[in-house]
Structure 1
């Protein structure tokens, strides 16, 4: 499966890490995705995609069109069709806020159809992109829709969240929340409330997700892995702390994850890994 992505031009780059196309035959039809520091927009131009929550009480969903996903605090599963054609957006954790007029808590750990948030937009995107074969041209369609949807004035508190979130991103979650509040001159309760409004989770949770992302992207599955060293580098108290976080976020122990990665090398960089 081919991945073509790019960082959009300003001002979208303040809120979006990349826009991308996925096309072709997937090496692995079903993958598991742990929490990562992103919110998402997907527009499916191909056969249906099925999603499962790791919470078994939540029914699976099948999407023939598009869907939004806020920041996830637990893993979920994706089953691709035999041939994929999909365009998407990786928003920064706070980046979906100026595009979707609903509280971020309503998107946390959920998938929401595009038309529930952007009425009548999905048909316009699909009509414009449906016959395009060039990934670059397809991405231009998606970027134009994003530009048309970008709020003219930032919502109250978004600048604060963007600044504090940027520090968490740069430090891979290592900056203490107390240092963020001191630097911003606000209380911890105020910062947490603004993060919940624009991200859907607290800054402490965002820091955990950034720290885990740093850890998991540092794992080089083909060779020997020094988990104690990785725990130290990623900012965990010790290897036991790392193991607990790993189990919470992936459902696997570090050893089980490493064995799975070695059996099924990733198409791209982590996070997605094959689901057994």
Structure 2
């Protein structure tokens, strides 16, 4: 499967980490995806995609046209079709807010059909891309649509959330949440309320996910791994704290995860986003 991705130009890069196209035959059809510091948009141009929540009480879903996802606080499973043609957007945790016209809390740990949020945009993308557009052209069309959907005036509190969220991003979740509130000149409760509105979760939860994302990217499966050193570097209290977080977010122990990474190394040409792992 081919991956083509890029960072959009300003001002979209203040809300979006990257945009990408996946095309071709997947090496692994089912992927276990842990929480990552992103909200998502997927526009599906291929066969139906199936999703399962790690919460067994949530029924699975099948999407033909695509879906929006807010920040996830637990893992989920995605099953690709036999041939993939999918264009995606990794929003920053707060980045989806000015594009969807709904509270981010309504997208937390949920997938919502893209046509329920972006009916006209979805039609325009399909009409302009068709069946033969290249990955570069598909990304250009999607970027133009995102630019047209970006609210001209930020909604209440978004500027503050962007600033505080940016500090969490650059510190990999290590900066104390109390320090964020103090720097913003607001109470911790007020900051949490704004985060719930624009991110869907509290800043403490965002910090936790950033910390785990740093840990995942730090793992070099080709070398011996000292989990105690990684735990300290990523800001965990100790190795036991890291192990509990790992099991909660991936369903695996650190040792089990490392064995999977060694068994299924990342495909050539893909970015170093190595959180998702095959289930087979």
Q: Is the TM value for this pair above 0.5?
A: yes
Q: C-alpha offsets along residues 197-227 of structure 1, whole Å, 9 cap, x if unaligned?
A: 0000000000000000000011111221110
Of 257-266 and 137-146, the range deviating more from structure 2: 257-266
1:119 is displaced (CA, Å) by 2.7
1:174 is displaced (CA, Å) by 0.6
Q: CA RMSD in A?
A: 0.9
TM-score by length of 2: 0.97
Q: C-alpha offsets along residues 66-91 of structure 1, whole Å, 9 cap, x if unaligned?
A: 10000000000010111111101000
Task: Indicate yes or no: 2:157 matched with 1:157.
Answer: yes
Task: Indicate yes or no: 2:237 matched with 1:237.
Answer: yes
CA distance in structure 2 between the aligned counterparts of 1:132 and 1:93, rounded to whole angstroms: 32
Q: Secondary structure at the match of 2:215?
A: helix
Q: C-alpha offsets along residues 154-199 of structure 1, whole Å, 9 cap, x if unaligned?
A: 0000000000000000000010001101111100000000000000
CA distance in structure 1 between the aligned counterparts of 2:249 and 2:146, rounded to whole angstroms: 30
1:120 is displaced (CA, Å) by 2.8
CA distance in structure 1 between the aligned counterparts of 2:161 and 2:188, rounded to whole angstroms: 12
Aligned equivalent of 1:274: 278
CA distance in structure 1 between the aligned counterparts of 2:118 and 2:62, rounded to whole angstroms: 19
Aligned equivalent of 2:15: 15
Structure 2: gaps spanning 5 or more residues:
none
CA distance in structure 1 between the aligned counterparts of 2:237 and 2:129, rounded to whole angstroms: 48
How many residue pairs get aligned? The number is 276
Tell me, yes or no, if the aligned pair for 2:65 and 2:115 is still in contact at 8 Å.
no
Q: Secondary structure at the match of 1:122?
A: helix
Aligned equivalent of 1:119: 119
Task: Indicate yes or no: 2:222 matched with 1:218.
Answer: no
1:124 is displaced (CA, Å) by 1.7
Aligned equivalent of 2:167: 167
CA distance in structure 1 between the aligned counterparts of 2:228 and 2:21, rounded to whole angstroms: 37
TM-score by length of 1: 0.98
CA distance in structure 2 between the aligned counterparts of 1:197 and 1:132, rounded to whole angstroms: 39
Aligned equivalent of 2:75: 75
Tell me, yes or no, if the aligned pair for 2:44 and 2:86 is still in contact at 8 Å.
yes
CA distance in structure 1 between the aligned counterparts of 2:25 and 2:115, rounded to whole angstroms: 27
1:126 is displaced (CA, Å) by 1.3
Structure 1: gaps spanning 5 or more residues:
none
Aligned equivalent of 1:106: 106
Q: Secondary structure at the match of 1:262?
A: helix
Q: Secondary structure at the match of 2:97?
A: coil
CA distance in structure 2 between the aligned counterparts of 1:95 and 1:46, rounded to whole angstroms: 26
